[in-house]
Amino acid sequence: MLPRLLAADPVSTDISVTESLANDSIWIVIIKAVLIVVFLLTSVLFAVWFERRVIGRLQERPGPNRLGPFGLLQSVADAMKLLFKEDITVRRSEKVLYIAAPMISVFSALLIFSVIPFGPPTHIPGTDIVTPLQLTDFPVAVLFILACAAIGVYGIVLGGWASGSTYPLMGSIRSTAQVISYELAMGLSLVTVFMLSGTMSTSGIIEAQTDRWWVWPLFPAFILYVISMVGETNRLPFDLPEAEGELVAGFMTEYSSMKFAWFFLAEYMNMINVSAVASTLFLGGWRAPWPASWAGAEFLNSGIFPPIWLILKIWLLMFVFVWIRGSVLRFRYDQFMRFGWKILIPVGLGWLVFFAGGRFAFEHFGRDLNVYDAVAGIVAILLVIAVWGFVTDSQEKEEGEADEEPEPEVLDAFAGGYPVPPLPHQVLPPSPRSGRTVDARVSTREEDSE
């Protein structure tokens, strides 16, 4: 069915995606769902190999190269190893939630791709079936994506809590704070996409990008989304819920065998999901890149080409994930929270007000909104650079003033009746025992000399 779909001819644009999806039979829906699951599973296997090879090159080592050509079968070997490892269940765990937690994460990750379009409405040769290369779509599809991403965190939270151990619980609590912080920034980055597209439907947003992609007029929102999607998927430098140096393995510490593999699978599926969402909302989705898509070459937006364009864009963003992991160190938890609440969210709010206010002013004075859309992204980038330079200079001045350390406060450790350790700005008074020890040593030396 897939080759026939890819080789099919596009239908005229007067048939909407919603109408085409409404005419799908139950067998077409099942076939599409199976193809999405197969695509995600094979993509995860390839992503594991891809990440190890790219990081190997970044670190000047070969990466996996023994199993299969170029080490392509290494991911299969890793999957088989996890499949045959001993499955351990912690005695103190909440058994039902302990087992259900990884399933929740995987199921939520699988749901997101149901609204990602792979191509336009297409006529299958030899039949009278016209169907889009998409499982389903509805007016609030992007909100559905955000909801599925938020529900997926329940798997992490329940997994950490149900393990009955300290470190998994700490990792799950971190994950909760992380999602609240970075999902707010992600939502703010998408509001301007809805404003330009006039819809929250994924197919409608792609249709609105026929003449230009939103990455150009909404470049600050795109950068904000890319940063937020790295934090949303718990990837370096934002992998605080599974920080090996602090929490052993975070929320996955007490998991093994296939239950661990489900969490592992959900993480890589979410990477592919957020990359597909970025491609759909900012990079034209399945549309051919410039200038082919805008030069009248419509054959590049039909047949087998639309899925190829979307997959290439997804793997371009997957490379960004791997590149960041191989280049940036993990944040401290305070740096991580400060970056989300004091930088990303204010920048998102500022960009939203700037873009909405500018469009309203242009429309009020009868100006061309296309001109504003063309220059808004550039102006916003220059403003962000200027603000960043101002903030950096202020921090350097504060650090310079902080170098002059004040006189430390002397602490009376027994003032409250119990010994209290000193804080960083406090020091203990000299111990009377040390004075007696010095006097005893001096007197001993004098006796020896006599």
Q: Which of 206-210, 290-294, 311-315, 336-340 has the lowest mean pLDDT?
A: 290-294
* Residue 6, pLDDT score: 38
Alpha carbon distances (Å) from 348 to 145, 226, 320, 337, 384: 19, 13, 21, 16, 11
Secondary structure (3-state) at 362: helix
Q: Which band of pLDDT confidence, cut at 50, 70 and 90, is reported for residue 313?
A: very high
Strands 409-410 and 426-427: parallel
Task: Match 């404003």 to its residue by tokens.
Answer: 195
Top-ranked range on mean pLDDT: pick from 104-118, 152-166, 205-219: 104-118
Task: Match 């994950």 to its residue by tokens.
Answer: 175
Output 127 or 115, whichever has higher pLDDT.
115
Instruction: Measure the CA–CA gap between 197 and 308, rounded to whole angstroms.
Output: 24
Q: Element (H or E) spanning 121, and its range?
A: strand 119-123
Name beta bridge partners: 10: 122
* Residue 355, pLDDT score: 82
For the cut 60, the answer to whether the pLDDT of residue 294 exceeds it is: no
* Residue 5, pLDDT score: 38
Q: Are 201 and 145 in contact (CB under 8 A)?
A: no
pLDDT above 90 covers what percent of the chain? 9
* Residue 11, pLDDT score: 42
Instruction: Measure the CA–CA gap between 99 and 94, rounded to whole angstroms.
Output: 9
Q: Which band of pLDDT confidence, cut at 50, 70 and 90, is reported for residue 89?
A: confident
Q: Please, what is the average pLDDT of the chain?
A: 78
Q: Whole-model pTM above 0.75?
A: yes
Q: Which band of pLDDT confidence, cut at 50, 70 and 90, is reported for residue 66?
A: confident
Q: Span 252-277, mean pLDDT?
A: 86
For the cut 70, the answer to whether the pLDDT of residue 437 exceeds it is: no
Q: Tens digit of pLDDT for each residue in 2-50?
A: 334 334 444 434 356 766 676 777 888 888 889 999 999 899 989 989 9
Q: Span 203-218, mean pLDDT?
A: 84
Secondary structure (3-state) at 404: coil
Output 406 or 71, whichever has higher pLDDT.
71
Written as six digits, the tokens of 427 are 């020091």
Q: Which band of pLDDT confidence, cut at 50, 70 and 90, is reported for residue 92?
A: confident
Q: How many CB atoms lie within 10 A of CB 95?
A: 11
For the cut 90, the answer to whether the pLDDT of residue 397 exceeds it is: no
**Angle (CA) 63 323 314, round 5°:** 100
* Residue 448, pLDDT score: 58
Closest CA to 256 of 402, 87, 137, 90: 87
